[in-house]
Chains A and B, each alone.
Chain A
Amino acid sequence: MNTKINTLKQELNKVIIGQEMMIEGLLIGLLCDGHILVEGVPGLAKTTTINALSKALGLESKRIQFTPDLLPSDIIGAQIYNPNDHSFSVKKGPLFTNLLLADEINRAPAKVQSALLEVMQERQVTIAEETFKLESPFLVMATQNPIEQEGVYALPEAQLDRFMMKLIVTHNSEEEEVEIMRKAANKSFAQIETVLTIEDLHTLQKELKDIHIDEELERYIVQLITATREPTRFGLEEHVASIMFGASPRASIDLYKASRAQAFLKGKTFVSPSDIADVIHKVLRHRIVLSYEARSQGINSDEIITAIVETLAVP
C-alpha cells in the first residue's frame, strides 16, 4: 500500500475506531474529487471522521446542520449592507471550505438541497454578481437519516446522482465499541497531527491516474452499468420488474474512477474485477431507482447489484 495513504490511515485510526469502510470511502472521494453520501443513525463518528481527516491533511472543515427552516443564503453566503460606507460586502457561507459535513441533508427543503448540490457539481458559488471558485480539494460528506424516519425531504434521483458514492454506516462491533467507550471515558484519544499536505494530496491524485485498467475491464464496467438499464439483455429477467430506472452515464465514470482509487488504496498498480466489485455497491446503490413492486417486496438495490455482479462474467 502507498506509504502516504498508510500514514494517513494510521493517523485517522488514532481517533476513529473501526468504520474502515467510511474512511476508505472518504479517501476515494478525496482522490477522485467526488462527494460522499452517508446514511446511518446519529453517533457513528461522521463528524469526528471529517474533522480528523481535515486535520490530518491540514485542510479546513465545516459542518452545516440542515434544518427545515434553512435558507440557501445560510450555506452559500449573501451580500451584507454596510451602513457606514453605504456599500455591500460579500459574507461567504460555510460552503467555502475543503471538507464540508452536510449533516442530515434530507431535513432541509428542496431549494437548500439544490443550492448545495449545484455547488458540488460546479465547484463555484455566485453571490449577487460575483462568482467565487471553491478551493481544491472540495469534498462534501452529506449524511441522511434512513428514509423511513418522519420529517425528512427525500433527495430527488437527479441530485442523488451527483454523489459519487453512498455509504451505509452501521454500528461498530462489540470489541470496537468497548475500545471507543474506554477512550471516550478516559479522554485518551490522541491528537491528530497533519501528516499530509494539500500538495501530497495532489500528488496522490496524479499517481492515481497511473493505475492501469484493462480495456476488457472498462467494457466490464460499462456492461455492469448497462445491466441496470437493460437487465433482460444480461439474463436478469427476474429483476426487470424491480428496476424503474437504471444508473446514469455518471455512474460509469464514477465506477471507473472509484475502481482505480480502490486499487490504489490497496497498493495495486492495476485494477482487477475485485476492485470494481468492492465499490460497485457504493457507487450504484443510490442510482438505481426501484419500482413500487420491488419496494413492496422488500427488495433493495444492493440485492440487484449483487445479482448483476453474480450474473455478468468477469473478463
Chain B
Amino acid sequence: MKHNLGSLLGIVLLMGFVSSLFAEEFAYKIEANKQEMYLKEGILLTVDLNQTDPKNILLFQFEVNKSDDFAIYPLYAKHDDTPHATSLHESYLVYPLKTGNLNLTFSCIKRVTSDLKMKHFASGDRDDFKKLETKDVPIVLPPVKLHVKPLPPSTQLVGDFHLTTKVQTHEAEAYAPIAMRIEIEGKGYPPILHSLYSKSKNYTLFSQAPEVKKNITKTGIDYNVTYVMAFSANKDFTLPKLTLHAFNPETQQPYTLTIKAHNFHINAVNQNRLIDAQNKPKKLVEDWSWLKNLLSYFTVFAAGWLSALAFKWQKPRIVDRQDPLVGKVIQCKEPKVLLQLLIAQEDKRFAQSIEKLESALYGNTTFNLKTMKQEILEILQ
C-alpha cells in the first residue's frame, strides 16, 4: 500500500512537470524544466503536439496565454503541416514576475478538415482565393503549475552577469563632456535598469536609453546591455561608488556588481572663451521704446493743444494792438520826417496833412508840428 501511495504521489508530482494527453486523434506534451524557481528565474517550456490518428486532416493553433504574471519569450517553433501527420514543436523562455503559486495557461484550437476541402483550398490562387473550410474545436489544456520563490531583498538583477566600466577621461575642461560606458553582460532576466546615476548639482548628466543586444539560445537569452552617458561640470566632482545587487538562481547565491568611485578633475576655462565673439546675440535690454513713442505722441498732442490755446490767447492782443504808425508819429520831431512817414503810407486820409506839410516845407505857410501830429493821431484813432 505504501508502495502504491508513493507511486501515486510520484505520478501526481510528475503531472506538474509534464502535462500530456493522449486523445484519439492526437497526443501532446507540455513540459517545464522546473516546477519551483525564483522570481525572474527563467524556465524553459517545451510543447510537443503530434497527430496520432491519420483519418482526418488536423491543424493546430497553440499559444501560451499572455499574463502579467509572466514574461514570455518564444525560443523555437517548428510546425509540420503534412496532411494526416501534423506536428507542432515549440519552446519558450518564461520568467515569472510574481511570487507564490502561479498557473501558466494555454490556448489550443484543433481545426479538422478533409482532403477534399484541402484540394478545394489548394485550387484557389491569389485572384481566386478559396477559404479552407475547417471545423474548429477548442481543446482545454491543463495549466502548468509553478511555485515561485522570492528573491533576497534589494535584488536588482537576476542571472549570471558581469559588469565592465569604461570612462573616457578623468580630467577635462569645464563644461566639456566626459563620456562613460557601462556594460552588463550575461545570461538571465533582462538587466535593464532605469538609471544608474541620479542627477546632481555637482554635474550635468546626459543619458540615453540603454543599448540592448540579445542572443536567444535553447538554454536562455544572453544579454549585453550598454549604458552610455556623459557628464559635464565646471568644477571637480566625484561619481560615487555604485553597487548593484544581483542573484544567481543557478548557484542560489546573491552577489554584487560594483562600479568603483570616479574622481574627475575639471580645469577651469576663461568664460569669455565660451562666448562666440562674432555671432553672439545682442545683450538683452528692456525695450522701453513703447514708452518713448507714447511720450512723444503726448508731447506732440500737447504741443498742438498749447499752440491752439496760444493762438487763442494771442488773438485779443493782436486786436488790441496799437497801430504801429501811432508810435512812429509820436516819435517824429521834425516836419520832414513826419512827411516822409505819411507819404509812405499810401493812405488818402493823410492827403490834407501831407499838403499842409509840403506847403510849409516847400512854400511859405507856417504850421505847428504838435498840432499836426495831434490831427494825425486823431485820424488814426
A residues lining the B interface (CB < 8 Å) = 270, 272-274, 276-278, 281, 302, 306-307, 309-310, 312-314
Contact = CB atoms under 8 A, between A and B. Distances in A.
B346 A273 contact: no
Given A277-B344, A313-B337, A314-B343, 19 more contacts: A270-B362, A272-B358, A273-B339, A273-B343, A273-B358, A274-B343, A274-B355, A277-B343, A277-B346, A278-B346, A281-B346, A302-B346, A306-B345, A306-B346, A309-B344, A310-B328, A310-B340, A314-B339, A314-B340
Q: Which 8 pairs show the lowest CB-CB distances between chains A and B?
A: A277-B343, A309-B344, A310-B344, A274-B354, A272-B358, A314-B340, A274-B343, A306-B344
B362 A313 contact: no
A90 B328 CA distance: 62
A314 B343 CA distance: 10
Contacts of B370: none
Contact of B336 (A274, A276, A278, A313): A313
Contacts of B354: 274
Contacts of B344: 277, 306-307, 309-310
A302 B337 CA distance: 20
B326 to A, nearest CB: 14
Nearest to A282: B346
Contacts of B362: 270, 272
Contacts of B345: 306
B167 interface: no
A272 B318 CA distance: 36
A175 to B, nearest CB: 15
A310 B329 CA distance: 12
Interface SS of B by simple majority = helix
B336 A309 contact: no
Nearest to B335: A314
B144 to A, nearest CB: 111
A162 B327 CA distance: 39
B341 interface: yes
Contacts of B358: 272-274
The secondary structure that dominates the A interface is helix
B341 to A, nearest CB: 6
19 contacts: A273-B358, A274-B339, A274-B343, A274-B354, A274-B355, A277-B343, A277-B346, A306-B345, A306-B346, A309-B340, A309-B343, A309-B344, A310-B328, A310-B340, A310-B344, A312-B340, A313-B336, A314-B340, A314-B343
Interface in B320-364: 328, 336-337, 339-341, 343-346, 354-355, 358, 362
Contacts of A277: 343-344, 346
Contacts of A309: 340, 343-344
A276 B337 CA distance: 16
B336 A314 contact: yes
B101 to A, nearest CB: 111
Residue among A270, A276, A306 facing the most chain B CB atoms (10 A cut-off): A306
B96 to A, nearest CB: 104
A310 B324 CA distance: 13
Nearest to B350: A274
A301 to B, nearest CB: 13
A274 B340 CA distance: 9
Contacts of B336: 313-314
A309 B358 CA distance: 16
Nearest to A277: B343
Give the interface centre of B343, B345, B355, B362 by most chain A CB atoms within 10 Å: B343
B340 A313 contact: yes
A270 B341 CA distance: 21
B346 A310 contact: no
A281 B345 CA distance: 10
B349 to A, nearest CB: 13
B39 to A, nearest CB: 103
Contacts of A281: 346
Nearest to B346: A281
Interface in B64-90: none
A87 B189 CA distance: 134
A274 B356 CA distance: 11
Given A273-B358, A274-B354, A274-B358, A310 B339 contact: no
Nearest to B337: A313
A306 B344 CA distance: 5
A313 B361 CA distance: 13
Contacts of A312: 340
A270 B361 CA distance: 14
B335 to A, nearest CB: 10
Nearest to A281: B346
Contacts of B343: 273-274, 276-278, 309, 314
A302 B346 CA distance: 10
A281 B344 CA distance: 9
A274 B345 CA distance: 10
A234 to B, nearest CB: 13
B28 to A, nearest CB: 115
Contacts of B328: 310
A277 B341 CA distance: 10
B355 to A, nearest CB: 8
Contacts of A314: 336, 339-340, 343
Contacts of A273: 339-340, 343, 358
A314 B340 CA distance: 6
Nearest to A315: B336
